[in-house]
Structure 1
Amino acid sequence: MLPNIDYSELPRALQHILNRDNPEVPTTPSRRSFLKLAGIGGFALGAFPMLSVAQAAGDAAKPLSPTQQPSAFVEIAADGAVTVTINRLDFGQGVQTALPMILAEELDADWSKVHSKHGNSDGAYVDPVMGLHLTGGSNSIKNSFTQYRELGARARAMLIAAAAKQWNIDPAQLRTASGEVIAPDGRKLGYGELAQAAMTQPVPETVKLKDPKEFRLIGKPTNRLDSVAKSSGKQSYGIDTHLPGQLTAVVLRPPVFGAKIATLDDSAARGVHGVKAVLRVPLDRGAEGVAIIGEGYWSAKQGRDAVKVTWDTSAVEKVDTKKQFAQYRELAKQPGNKYFDADVTPISTAAKKIHAEFTFPYLAHAPMEPLNCTVKFNNDSAEIWLGSQMPGLDGMMAARVLGLKPEQVKVNVQMAGGGFGRRAIATSDYVFEACSIAKAVKTAGMDVPVRTMWSREDDIRGGYYRPAQLHQASIGLDAHGKVLAWDHVIVGQSITAGTPFEGFMIKNGIDNTAVEGMREPYDLPMKLTVHHPKMNVPVLWWRSVGSTHTAFVMETLIDEIAHASKKDPVAYRLEAYGDKHLRHRAALQLAVEHSGYGKKTLPKGHAWGVAVHESFQTVVAYVVEASIKNGKPVLHRATAGVHCNLAVNPRTIETQVQGAALMGLSMCLPGAAITFKDGVVEQSNFSDFVVPRITEMPEITVFIVPSAEPPTGMGEPGLPPLAPAFANAVFKLTGKPIRQLPFNV
């Protein structure tokens, strides 16, 4: 549960989930009206409807929610330029192009005139399926595909209605193309000419959408709208926010999570040129810290370096990585919560046996843009600027800290330089911190905006890691390699315990994020039990969540079973899929076909590796080529087969898979781990928390299974199968299975 936040402040759909036993909890947002807005240089089709007056006469009888109204999402200027507002954070995944493509398709816009911008924390920009502001779970395109199609179609219908009225002609006789309404006799009116009149038209309740055969944008490889700005260094991110009079804050945080200040000597820090204040502030999870306020980052950092502080860690647990896994092993021996409970043959009677233990470390998100949040706080209102995956919850946290109502806080969502889940956190830790500092600065007599910035070291040591995990598996096979019994235990912290998501993510004491991907798609007699110990390490989802470890366990063990069965790993998987898992089959066969697996002769010392995994309703198969060079595993090539149903922008999908594969490779490299000694994080920067360098980037080719079915998730599914495919290639080369990440070869 969010600290000190009443459920009544949460989005209505989330209230419904948390109060599912109460049938009277509303799930549909109230009706909002349609707004006329005069824009600079012309009239714009659209402005946020929650700010509008009552809609004009002629409204449809059935109310439309804010998420269904074009006014919040489409602006058409007098020159015909179309600006599409996205209801997500774009932090590298490309939704600032893909979502406008979907809307522009149904709008029949001229793509050369289409632009995009981020939304905010207003009600129109909630995920239409989840009912809350969220960029995560690879849901952006999947959940908003139909929404953005309908938004474009509604706006198009209004433009046609305006043209029909001007020409005094039946709307059914008109057509649209490339930003124009066209009459049967060839007359044309540009969308910019019609935008003002279109605002007087009612928003249609229902619209007819295009047949996929008519698509001219969707499915076409399209360059990203932000590619020029990003490749030229002109793109602004949250960390680039600069407001008049703005000061910058950096924070000295305790070395152990939850610790408090024992003694503080800030005299030297206050003497640093440019330092304006040194303030004790509350931090996340009950900790205390010291905020140094400076004219810029450098002066604030210099001031922080001069602070002398001792910490009281007596009341907090001090996690030690080596001891932690010993504790996990002891816990694995105890009865756990049951997830699968198959009635199986005793493993002791099996002809062949596999006993395996897997360990996975904590992982930091380590985005290229460290965390940051800028706060402008007035007595009765506030604005914040940040790259947020959950601006609604972040806005509520800002309101709570600043003593305001949620509607008094404006959240300005900024482009973010990565995040991988770190910017979607129920505790809003870095927003809580930034607002606490802004409040303290104002109390100290400085009425200025404050930008709180984290350094790379702050970011890597700052917590909310992918949880460390222990898996133990005992598998019994018959003489032919058929699985007779599989007894499996998982030990790791719960991600969702203590959050608003606990009510529907934890069942029978098991966090579903910890077991996603287990057993599937294989028909296996598996017993699976789970333990969720509590540790003084804050944890969070990390790109592809539970599949970061479950895919590795399942796909490496499947290869071992295929080896024990004396079957080719591809043939074994295809046989296991049968006729039930056609998407897995199609993705694997596509990767096999384009890789040359089974046909191409590899160089001496090279081997194939294969893995397939479904996450977020998308299947990704990898066929990789690897070798051992100077005792170190080297990944040379990876061929991906992807089944994500309809590919909205194949170019974005290709880059998403390439980036996810590289992040999957990062899990394999020695040094890719967050470890603890006496409660202190031992890593601090990319020098000791390893990420792949350009010399380690393999050749990655991506192939997409053709489909016209509604799109599924794509931001995360490319990550999970890369590491097991690589490990399976190493297994072939060494004869020794890899049982931990990073690799211990």
Structure 2
Amino acid sequence: MMRRRAFVIGSASVAGGVLIGGYRLLRPLDYGNPLTATLGDGQFTLTPYVIVDRTGVSIIAPRAEMGQGIHSTLAALVAEELDVSLADVRVIHGPASEAYSNTVAYPLPTARRDLLELRLRTRLERPARSTQPTGGQSSTQDAFVKMRKAGAAARAMLVEAAAREFDVDPKVLKTGNGAVIHPDGTTLPYTRLAEAAARVKPPEDPPLKPEDEWTLLGRSQPRVDMVGKCTGTAEYSIDVRLPGMVYGVVRRNPRIGAPLVSFDDSKAKEMPGLREIIPLEDGIVVVATNTWYAMQAARMIDVDWGPGPYPETTEAHRKVLVDAIEDEDGRTWRNDGDVDQALAGSEVIEGMYHVPYLAHATMEPLNAVAWLRDGQLDIWAGNQSPTHTQRIGS
């Protein structure tokens, strides 16, 4: 199971299951199922969000888990409508795919959430959904309706499959704890209904639970990723091991965007296990048989770095930004009311606060694993936009 920011591009394995879900706003997705190509005999796929197999239910939460708890939130949206407990589901990231793209991450020049914006987003949706970013507090906004719809659709399909087996009207059946319940108390678990549910046509617009019937949403829930992280069993891209694997260390110009002028690698070439030293425009890659050899060899290279195209110090950087704000005209994104009138006659407290330029970096060591074989590139990496990473890799 891939957790947090780990994901696989170009391949995925699903053990004998049915995949249900995938709604775009209020209509089913038409991007196809990214897992279809990987299914084998006895495996069934409908759409990308819910997997029901002989062992239970898995929910795909296609946003990067970076400590903000988004895997738990997205899983709860589906589980609420599917009538399963969060404790009884597996949560996985899923592959890079248009099916999981995030439209809300594309801001419009307004902070209003009205019908006009909805219509604009609908028109922009096809080109916008070519990426799958996590950021800007957009994940829950993007998923709140469509992932609940995915759970509701899955439930409806499972109920229809059970109704056919019971030979009753679906309206008399209920669901709970991962099973469909007959009026006489007989239950059919979702795991038993999975194959039959795959043959049911998904509803166009399944109804959602009213808020007063929620059992998961709006309530504090245990994080689905905490046990793995606290016990050391969570898998990261840095944990991946492949046959014949070598290790690369990148040494870049500390000034982002500045070039590599020259280097002397004569000392590094004496390091045991060294495979190759590859110069880049802004740095050097050292490849060796293990990380220790690669790191030590990289440190032994004498490098002449070029200057950066920006101020050297934080203070100088700050001055340039302040001068730009004061001297250049900006663009108005929103203008409500009369600010001058609101401030007139009021007690005004002014303050200026500065923070240094910071790296938007991961807590774990930055890393990636790539495996090119038979014309297919598989990548494991920590990032916030897997479809973008996929395009870069290709």
TM range (shorter): 0.7 to 0.9
Q: Distance in 2 between matches of 1:214 and 1:352?
A: 47
Structure 1, unpaired ranges of 5+: 1-37, 50-61, 283-287, 400-745
1:476-497 Cα distance to aligned partner (Å, 9 max, x none)? xxxxxxxxxxxxxxxxxxxxxx
TM-score (norm 1): 0.42
Q: Is 2:49 the partner of 1:73? A: yes
Q: Which of 44, 69, 72 lines up with 2:17 in the alignment?
A: 44
SS at match of 1:89: coil
Give the distance between the partners of 1:296 and 1:232, measured in 2 at CA. Answer: 26
Q: How does 1:483-522 map to 2 (within 5 A)?
A: none
1:106 alignment counterpart: 81
CA deviation vs aligned residue, 1:627-659 (integer Å, no higher than 9, x gap): xxxxxxxxxxxxxxxxxxxxxxxxxxxxxxxxx
Question: Of residues 303, 310, 317 in structure 2, which corresponds to 1:309?
Answer: 303
Which residue among 357, 371, 376 is the counterpart of 2:371? 376
CA contact (8 A) 2:250 2:285 kept: yes
Distance in structure 1 (CA, Å) of the matches to 2:346 and 2:205 = 63
The correspondence for 1:336, drawn from 329, 351, 355, is 329
What do residues 233-266 of structure 1 show as CA deviations (whole Å, max 9, x unaligned)?
2212222222222211111212333333333221
Residue identity matched to 1:155:
A
* In the alignment, structure 1 residue 299 sits paired with structure 2 residue 293: yes
Which residue pairs with 1:362 in the alignment? 357
> Is the partner of 2:280 in helix, strand or coil?
strand
In structure 1, the partner of 2:387 is 392
- Report the Cα offset of residue 344 of structure 1: 4.2
Aligned-partner residue type, residue 264 of structure 2 = D
Task: Provide closer, same or farther for how the CA distance between residues 82 and 327 of structure 1 changes in structure 2, counting only shifts above 3 A.
Answer: closer
Q: How many residue pairs get matched?
A: 339
Tell me the CA shift for residue 322 of structure 1: 3.3
Letter in 2 for 1:231: C
1:379–1:159: structure 2 CA closer, same or farther, 3 Å change rule? closer
- Where does residue 267 of structure 1 map in the other structure? 266
Q: Which residue does the alignment assign to 2:220?
A: 221
Would you say 1:289 and 2:279 are equivalent positions?
no
Partner amino acid, structure 1, of 2:391: M
Q: 1:143 to 1:353 in 2, by over 3 A?
A: closer
Given that residues 70 and 155 in structure 1 are in contact (C-alpha distance below 8 angstroms), is that contact kept between their aligned partners in structure 2?
Answer: no
Cα distance change of structure 1 residues 155 and 70 upon mapping to structure 2, 3 Å threshold? farther
- 2:121 matched residue in structure 1: none
Question: Following TM superposition, by how much is the alpha carbon of 1:359 offset from its aligned partner in structure 2, in angstroms?
Answer: 3.1
The gaps in structure 2 that reach 5 residues or longer are: 1-12, 34-44, 106-128
CA contact (8 A) 1:46 1:71 kept: yes
SS in 1 for 2:59: strand
Q: 1:342 to 1:187 in 2, by over 3 A?
A: closer
Distance in 1 (alpha carbons) for counterparts of 2:47 and 2:62: 13
Q: For each residue in 1:564-585, what CA deviation from the matched residue of structure 2 results, as whole angstroms up to 9, or x when unmatched?
A: xxxxxxxxxxxxxxxxxxxxxx
Return closer, same or farther for 1:356/1:101 CA change in 2, 3 Å cut-off. Answer: closer
What is the rounded CA distance, in whole Å, between the counterparts of 2:65 and 2:32 in structure 1?
Answer: 18
Deviation by residue 1:312-347 (Cα, 9 ceiling, x = unmatched): 43x8445333334444555555353364695848x9
- 2:126 is aligned to none
Q: Is the 8 A contact 1:128 1:147 kept in 2?
A: no
Deviation for aligned residue 1:191: 0.8
5 Å-filtered alignment, 1:80-479, equals: 81-127=56-102, 129-130=104-105, 131=129, 132-282=131-281, 288-313=282-307, 316-328=309-321, 330-331=323-324, 334=327, 336-337=329-330, 339=332, 344=340, 356-378=351-373, 380-399=375-394
Supply the distance in 2 between the matched residues of 1:47 and 1:153 (Cα, whole angstroms). 10
Could you say which structure has the larger radius of gyration? 1
Which one has the bigger strand percentage? 1
Cα deviation, residue 311, structure 1: 2.7
Distance (whole Å) between structure 2 residues aligned to residue 174 and residue 350 of structure 1: 65
Distance change in 2, residues 1:95/1:374 (3 Å): same
The structural deviation recorded for 1:357 is 4.3
Q: 1:64 to 1:135 in 2, by over 3 A?
A: closer
Pair 309,203 (structure 1): closer, same or farther in 2 beyond 3 Å: same
CA distance in 2, matches of 1:370, 1:208: 45
Residues 467-512 of structure 1 deviation map (CA, whole Å, 9 limit, x = unaligned) = xxxxxxxxxxxxxxxxxxxxxxxxxxxxxxxxxxxxxxxxxxxxxx
Tell me the secondary structure at the aligned position of residue 219 of structure 1.
Answer: coil
Note if contact 1:104-1:111 (Cα within 8 Å) is conserved in structure 2.
yes
Q: 1:262 to 1:186 in 2, by over 3 A?
A: closer
Where does 1:724-735 land on structure 2 (aligned, <5 Å)?
A: none
Kindly indicate whether the alpha-carbon contact (under 8 Å) linking 1:76 and 1:192 is maintained by their aligned counterparts in 2: yes
Counterpart Cα distance in 2 of 1:143 and 1:309? 46
Root mean square deviation of aligned Cα = 3.0
Q: 1:335 to 1:190 in 2, by over 3 A?
A: closer
C-alpha separation in 2, matches of 1:197 and 1:325:
63
Q: 1:114 to 1:327 in 2, by over 3 A?
A: closer
Contact 2:314–2:357 under 8 Å retained in 1: no
8 Å CA contact retained: 1:70, 1:152: no
CA contact (8 A) 1:105 1:215 kept: yes
Q: Partners in 2 of 1:103 and 1:123 — Cα distance?
A: 19
Amino acid at match of 1:45: V
**Which amino acid in 1 is paired with 2:312?**
V
Structure 2: how far apart are the matches of 1:256 and 1:385?
A: 27
The whole-number CA distance in structure 2 between the counterparts of 1:320 and 1:263 is 24
SS at match of 2:91: strand
Using a 3 Å threshold, how does the CA distance of structure 1 residues 63 and 84 change in structure 2: closer, same or farther? Answer: closer
Give, in angstroms, the shift of residue 352 of structure 1: 7.9
- Conserved 8 A contact 2:46-2:198: no
CA contact (8 A) 2:174 2:180 kept: yes
1:656-695 superposed matches below 5 A: none
**For 1:351 and 1:168, how far apart are their aligned partners in 2?**
72
Q: Tell me the distance in 1 between the aligned counterparts of 2:265 and 2:21.
A: 47
Deviation at 1:67, TM superposition (A): 8.7
The 1:327–1:218 alpha-carbon spacing in structure 2 relative to 1, beyond 3 Å, is closer
**Measured at CA, do residues 184 and 321 of structure 1 come closer, stay the same or move farther in structure 2, by a change above 3 Å?**
closer
The one-letter amino acid of 2:147's match is Y
CA contact (8 A) 1:64 1:205 kept: no
Secondary structure of 1:189's counterpart equals strand
Higher RCO structure, 1 or 2 (CA under 8 Å, sep 6+)? 2
Tell me which amino acid in the other structure corresponds to 1:197: A
What letter corresponds to residue 327 of structure 2 in structure 1? Q
Aligned to 1:411: none
Higher alpha-carbon deviation: 218-227 or 174-183: 218-227
Residues 291 and 114 of structure 1, relative CA distance in 2, 3 Å threshold: same
* CA distance in 2: counterparts of 1:352 and 1:201, whole angstroms: 65
Counterpart residue type for residue 290 of structure 2: G
Distance 1:351 1:63, change over 3 A: closer
Task: Report the CA distance shift for 1:308/1:109 in structure 2 as closer, same or farther (over 3 A).
Answer: same
Deviation at 1:152?
0.8
Q: With structure 2 as the length reference, what TM-score do the two structures score?
A: 0.77
DSSP-derived class of the 1:72 partner: coil
Q: What displacement does 1:185 show? A: 2.3
Aligned-residue offset at 1:186: 2.3
